Amino acid sequence: MFASALVLVAVVWELYKGLGPQNGGEVFGWSILPRANDLAMPHVWEMLSRYADPERRGSTDPIFFTVASGAWFSLRLALAGFAMGTLVGLGLAVLMARFKVVERGLLPYLVVSQTVPLIALAPLVVSWGGKLSIGSFEWPRWLSAAVIGAFLAFFPVAVGTLKGLTSAPPASLELMDSYAASWRQTLFKLRFPAAVPFMIPALKLAATASVIGVVVAEISTGLAGGIGRLIIEYARQTTSDPAKVYTAVFGAAALGLLMVGIVVATDLRLMRNRPKEATE
Amino acid sequence: MTAVEVRGVSKVFNAGRANAVDALVDIDLSIEPGEFVSLIGPSGCGKSTQLRLIANLTEPTAGEVLVNGKPAHQARLDQDYGMAFQQSGLFDWRSVVRNIELPLELKGWDKAKRRSRALEMLELVKLSDFAEHFPWQLSGGMQQRVAIGRALAAHPPLLLMDEPFGALDEMTREHMQAELLRICSETSTTVVFVTHSIPEAVYLSTRVVVMSPRPGRITAMIDVDLGTRRDVETREADAFFRKITEVREALRGMDAVDPSLEVEPALGVEDR
């Protein structure tokens, strides 16, 4: 399914490239159609074959290795951001589920937090981080990028988990009451298992969001070594090497897919014993 | 010591507000160990509320409830009763045997001890072959048997049941009734059973408590002396039908008070 969708996108790309106007076009007087020349839209096979060519003249390794090591660098940041965001999101969700007053007071601010433009936030986090030092602990620059990933990731986790934690059927809650179960016991034996179907889509969102956060943070803070930096670097070279930037863009996309893949694998494992309707 | 002692209990919902409802007024009820008591009555007569008061899932507005000689609250903390609802309420993510282990887990039993008790309960409800199945793989009747096993897992002296067979078909229902009687006599458990089926109440009970609504109160107590061994023949005995008539007339007696009241159909939806 996924593979055939990819092929379809490639076919549409090539079709437009073959038929579309070379220097862009107009629809009702607005110039919105992209240019179809080789500079703006390189052939799919050129993008793919670019992976085998060296990054720049003089170097011997194909660009594939550069992109892969950049992706690996960013993957670790995204995983760190995803982990932090998930922990914070879970913590907030539990607090909000436990205390109604916290939910009422906190939830609007969580929504507001997501409207802050990421590009503006990134340099701020870096400068705060630079001023932070706890004992002998020096705030590394990569941590700022991970924090920005976490900042995007925690929100869906908090909202999805909260919805899940409050979704336990009243009859089941009453059953736990009849056993005089503590709030903690009810949380771990009933509310969390009941929340899993709500948490999985939230975690998928968080996984992609943490990748986006990390990539944007790398770009706007100038953190070297990751896929974000490669994208911005290669984008500057489009005039001479139009296919190059796509190698990095696809690398970033693969990163997002890999993160979602991790969540899907967890999902399959957690839901293997549930009724089939609930997993769909 | 009585199993359940309800003294002068009243329950008002939304007390002090314009939409206040007298759910129960001046209830006195005393249940001896080993009794099987059914609460029967039309919608809104407070029979479920009364069960929930005994279970301490809600507090009375006035009066007191004692279970096993203790205040209901203490009895709940001590898990002195097990409870089964119309929906089996099994946890989807737990296998059958782990569902039965749930109350034992909450009590802090160790793994080996609760597994052996759970298997014992599965034998009692005749589902030993389904220990590792998941609830959604079982029929409604089997799920309800698991729920009964779960309710009795900690060997509580008292079993509270709120229309546990209300969602089952007639055949399964009769089978489950017979099974319930067998299980209760094997474990010598006292039962308080909410139903709106007259034959079910008569077949199961040693005593039927007839309730009327608006406000909820007890209008009649009918002893059912059909003996302790009840089987398919009991259902066809004249004594059985006479008791059914007696309960039906006690229920109908309320129509003279308020002719708009109707006894619910057997598969109606219980109010809460």
Q: Which two tokens stand for residue B198?
A: 């007259």
Give the model's pLDDT for residue B225.
79
Burial label for B160, CB within 10 Å (0-12, 13-18, 19+), is buried
A178:B93 CB<8 A: no
Q: Which residue of A has its CA nearest to B132?
A: A273
Q: What percent of chain A has pLDDT over 70?
A: 87
Q: Which residue of B has its CA nearest to A179?
A: B79
**Interface contact A196, partner B, CB < 8 A:** yes
Q: Which two tokens stand for residue A92?
A: 């907030």
| Tens digits of residue pLDDT in B63-77 | 888 888 888 888 888
Of residues A255 and A117, more confidently modeled: A255
Structure confidence at residue A26 as a pLDDT band (50, 70, 90)? low
Q: Which of A185, A193, A278 sits opposite B91 (nearest CB)?
A: A193
Give the model's pLDDT for residue A278.
46
| Tens digits of residue pLDDT in B199-215 | 888 888 888 898 888 78
Of residues A88 and B246, more confidently modeled: A88
Give the model's pLDDT for residue A268.
85
Q: Which residue of B has its CA nearest to A191?
A: B91
* Number of other residues whose CB lies within 10 A of the CB of residue B146: 24
Look over chain B and give the mean of its residue pLDDT values, rounded to a whole number: 83
Sequence-distant (6+) residues with CB within 8 A of B115 are B97, B101
Q: Which residues of B touch A190 (CB under 8 A)?
A: 91
Give the model's pLDDT for residue A171.
86
B106:A193 CB<8 A: no
A193:B93 CB<8 A: yes
* Closest CA of chain A from B165, distance in Å: 16
| Tens digits of residue pLDDT in B173-193 | 888 888 888 888 888 889 999
| Tens digits of residue pLDDT in A167-222 | 988 889 989 988 888 899 999 999 999 898 898 899 989 998 898 888 888 888 77
B136:A275 CB<8 A: yes
| Tens digits of residue pLDDT in A56-90 | 666 677 777 788 888 888 888 889 999 999 999 99
pTM: 0.78
Could you tell me if B132 and B96 are in contact, meaning their C-beta atoms sit under 8 angstroms apart?
Answer: yes
**Interface contact A195, partner B, CB < 8 A:** no
Structure confidence at residue B100 as a pLDDT band (50, 70, 90)? very high
Whether B268 has a pLDDT exceeding 80, the answer reads no
Question: In chain A, what are the domain boundaries?
Answer: 69-130+139-272
Whether A54 has a pLDDT exceeding 80, the answer reads no
Least Cα distance to A75 among A180, A266, A207 occurs for A207
Average pLDDT over residues B237-257: 75
Start-to-end C-alpha separation, chain B: 30
B95:A275 CB<8 A: no
| Partner residues linked to B212 by β-bridges | B217
Whether A36 has a pLDDT exceeding 80, the answer reads no
A172, A173, A178: best to mutate for the B interface, most B CBs within 10 A: A178
Give the model's pLDDT for residue A217.
85
Q: Which residue of A has its CA nearest to B77?
A: A180
Place of tokens 């003249």: A57
| Tens digits of residue pLDDT in A247-265 | 888 888 888 888 888 888 8
* Closest CA of chain A from B146, distance in Å: 14
Look over chain A and give the mean of its residue pLDDT values, rounded to a whole number: 82
Mean pLDDT lowest among A162-171, A186-195, B12-21, B31-40: B12-21
Average pLDDT over residues B99-110: 90
DSSP string covering B155-191, please?
Answer: --SEEEEESTTTTS-HHHHHHHHHHHHHHHHHHT-EE
CATH of A69-130+139-272, one of 1.10.3720.10, 1.20.1260.10, 1.10.10.10, 3.30.110.30: 1.10.3720.10
